[in-house]
Amino acid sequence: MNAVSPANGNGRRRTVLLTLAAVFLAAGAVWLLLWWFVFSLREVTDDAYVNGNQVIVSSQVPGTVVAVLADDTERVEAGQVLVRLDPTDADLALAKAQSALAQAVRAVRQQTHIAGQYDAAVTARREELARAEADLARREPLLAEHAVAPEEVAHARQAVADARAALNAAERQAAASHALVDGSDVAGNPTVLQARAAYREAWVNAHRNAIVAPIDGYVAQRSVQVGSRIQPGQPLLMIVPLRDLWIDANFKEVQLKHIRLGQPAEVRTDLYGGGVTYHGRVEGLAPGTGGAFALLPPQNASGNWIKVVQRVPVRIALDAKELEQHPLRVGLSTEVTVDTHDRNGPVLAPNATKKTVAKTDVYSADLASADAAADAVVQANLGR
């Protein structure tokens, strides 16, 4: 039996080592190519969370809660009544305002008729003055012929002066009465408009006893209870519109060099086990680090100092269709990967935004309905 020669063993060992070296070199080259063309053009962070609008619902008027019509986790629509307040006080105030408006309309109507009476009095006084002047004109030529007594002419002259003074007083009274009603009809009179504004305010306050949802969404953090006495502005519950969410990805400051607005991003969340990938884009970078806007910002100029790498929030806009297919929740943790191949975009928004971030129309109907109700009260008291 022949023994293996040392030369063959060394050759086989050399072949294995060369093969291993070639494999490592190939792996290194592959890794270098991946890093150069892929990994170096990406920025990844797992310090990223789902965020969204959290609309706090509060009352616009004080009152006592008599009904709660929505609870946590329930979906509500814009305009849906969420809480009802005791309407007693508001209804009484509305009734008083309605009576005051009706009285104001009738008072202005009365002032209009009084102004007409003074106009008629002015006409009568003018006729009296004309008669007195005619009597004086007939008697004065007869005085030279001694056909009438001087006392009679003096009385005629006094009658003219009295008639002229009475006309002047009547004209002033007519002008004073017309100052209250001229320039507008009954509905446009300042007194009626003031009472009408008070009625509208009372009407709106009465209907604000029904607290409605300003937007579509899901109820969270309900704190209002039946029987509670609430004040305007007091938080009652929160509505979260899950169709309008975004990601706040907190990148380290050393990762921001190549991040630009509009760059594509991929988002994965543990909610779906990493099996769902959301596609978004970089929408904006915060104007400061998270620590700068903290409740207690760091004071690096005092005491010992240790450098800590800061993070800057980067907002990632999500695709609405993907978000509808796979709903997210506010506060979920995510992993964000930003593709930085295209580095031509701006770092910060160059122009002022002109879009409306959020709006609601549920309160606009209140004033229109109040106007219609006030017009009905005015028309009912105008008379024939």
Q: Do 158 and 234 fall within a single domain?
A: no
Per-residue pLDDT at 134: 82
End residue of a domain, out of 239, 264, 297: 239
| 227 φ/ψ sector (left φ>0, alpha ψ -120 to 50, else beta) | left
The model's confidence at residue 182, banded by pLDDT at 50, 70 and 90, is confident
Per-residue pLDDT at 12: 80
CATH number of the domain enclosing 82:
2.40.50.100
Distance CA 73, CA 221 (A): 9
Residue 100 domain flag: yes
Residue 17 domain flag: no
Q: Do 213 and 109 fall within a single domain?
A: no
Identify each DSSP E strand in the chain by its residue range: 42-52, 55-58, 63-68, 75-76, 81-85, 210-212, 217-220, 229-230, 235-240, 245-252, 264-269, 277-285, 311-318, 333-339
Q: Do 225 and 170 fall within a single domain?
A: no
Residue 27 domain flag: no
Q: Do 182 and 100 fall within a single domain?
A: yes
Q: Do 140 and 189 fall within a single domain?
A: yes
The model's pLDDT over 265-297, given as tens digits with 9 standing for 90+, comes to: 999 998 888 789 999 999 999 998 888 888 888
Q: Do 211 and 168 fall within a single domain?
A: no
Is 183's pLDDT higher than 50? yes
Per-residue pLDDT at 312: 92
Residue 293 domain flag: no
Residue 251 domain flag: no
Q: Which helix (H) or strand (E) holds 110?
A: helix 88-144
The model's confidence at residue 179, banded by pLDDT at 50, 70 and 90, is confident
Amino acid at 25: L
Q: Do 104 and 190 fall within a single domain?
A: yes
End residue of a domain, out of 203, 228, 261: 203
The model's pLDDT over 163-173, given as tens digits with 9 standing for 90+, comes to: 888 888 888 88
Residue 132: domain span:
91-203
Q: Do 134 and 178 fall within a single domain?
A: yes
Q: Do 85 and 95 fall within a single domain?
A: no
pTM of this prediction? 0.74
Residue 323 domain flag: no
The model's confidence at residue 1, banded by pLDDT at 50, 70 and 90, is very low
Q: Do 194 and 220 fall within a single domain?
A: no
- The total of structural domains in the chain comes to 2
Query: DSSP characters for 166-213?
Result: HHHHHHHHHHHHHHTTTTS-STT-HHHHHHHHHHHHHHHHHHTTEEE-
Residue 83 domain flag: yes
Q: Do 137 and 219 fall within a single domain?
A: no
Residue 285 domain flag: no
Is 36's pLDDT higher than 70? no
CATH number of the domain enclosing 164:
1.20.58
Distance CA 363, CA 313 (A): 34
Q: Do 77 and 141 fall within a single domain?
A: no
Is 39's pLDDT higher than 60? no
